[in-house]
Amino acid sequence: MQKGLVGWRGPLPVWAMRLFLFGGAVALAVAAQQGNAGDAAETAPGVRVVQSAIEQTQYTRFYDPSYVRIPYPGGDVPLERGVCTDVIIRAFRAAGVDLQKEIYVDMAANYVEYPPKWGQRRPDRSIDHRRVPNLMTFFERKGKSLAISNDPASYLPGDVVAWDLGRGILHVGIVTDVKSGDGLRRLLVHNLGSGAKIEDILQSWKIMGHYRYF
């Protein structure tokens, strides 16, 4: 066993120098790992949004636009059912953002800025966040709106896309990191009549909005 260095006088022995250099290398490696962990933490919300959206395809089986009075905040309809906006709401909650609360608070303070389409006189915490026009307005008001592009590469994982299906019917979905069969487009998770699906639909309808929250 090597002797300790307490009370040592003179040049360090070779074994001690090697130990010193090894300890420095370990410290640098730990610091690098911590730096990488910090970088991962910065991108974590967007990753969680995509993961949640894809997971929803396993349990949300029905499209159900029924009005349901739900708790506030954090309220939700049964997970096996919902509408297109519920895909967004559930995915954002996985990243720590409760759109039910965020939209209600903004509408309560700025009600006239939101579309007056439903004959309401005040915000409704059970339904307002589940309406596509309100979701689009909220993203725009928060500065999360991006330019609409015909280039599929402009749409990144975690982005929200809104379409016009025709006759003024709006629809939304979330961009994932899964590529189409030809590798040219990212698939999106959406719920259009038969539960949450992951499909190659980016350019299936006229794009009305492109949003990046995280």
Position with higher pLDDT, 28 vs 176: 176
Please tell me the predicted confidence (pLDDT) of residue 194. Answer: 96
13, pLDDT greater than 90:
no
Please tell me the predicted confidence (pLDDT) of residue 44. Answer: 79
Backbone angles phi, psi at 39, to 5 degrees: -65, -40
Q: What angle do CA 12, 18, 24 make, to 5 degrees?
A: 110
Please tell me the predicted confidence (pLDDT) of residue 102. Answer: 98
CB 209 within 8 A of CB 148: yes
Position with higher pLDDT, 18 vs 125: 125
> Worst-scoring range by mean pLDDT, 6-10, 63-67, 92-96, 195-199?
6-10
* Those residues with Cβ within 8 angstroms of residue 49's Cβ, 6 or more apart along the chain or in another chain: 91, 92, 94, 95, 158, 174, 214
Summarize the confidence of residues 118-134 as an average pLDDT. Answer: 96
pLDDT digits (tens, 9 = 90+) for 37-94: 444 445 579 999 999 999 999 999 999 999 999 999 999 999 999 999 999 999 999 9
Position with higher pLDDT, 11 vs 83: 83
Backbone angles phi, psi at 175, to 5 degrees: -75, 135
Q: Which residues pair with 151 in a beta bridge?
A: none
Backbone angles phi, psi at 136, to 5 degrees: -65, -45
* Those residues with Cβ within 8 angstroms of residue 135's Cβ, 6 or more apart along the chain or in another chain: 85, 88, 99, 103, 129, 160, 162, 172
Summarize the confidence of residues 95-122 as an average pLDDT. Answer: 96
Q: Percent of the chain scored above 70 by pLDDT?
A: 80
The sign one gets for the Cα dihedral 135, 214, 155, 61 is negative
43 CA to centre of own chain: 10
CB 85 within 8 A of CB 160: no
Summarize the confidence of residues 124-135 as an average pLDDT. Answer: 98
155, pLDDT greater than 60:
yes
Average pLDDT of the chain, as a whole number = 88
Q: What are the start-end ranges of the E strands in the chain?
A: 62-63, 81-82, 160-166, 169-179, 186-191, 196-199, 206-211
154, pLDDT greater than 60:
yes
> Worst-scoring range by mean pLDDT, 5-19, 34-48, 108-122, 126-140?
5-19
CB 103 within 8 A of CB 138: yes
Q: What is the pTM of this model?
A: 0.81
For 157, the token pair is 């994982």
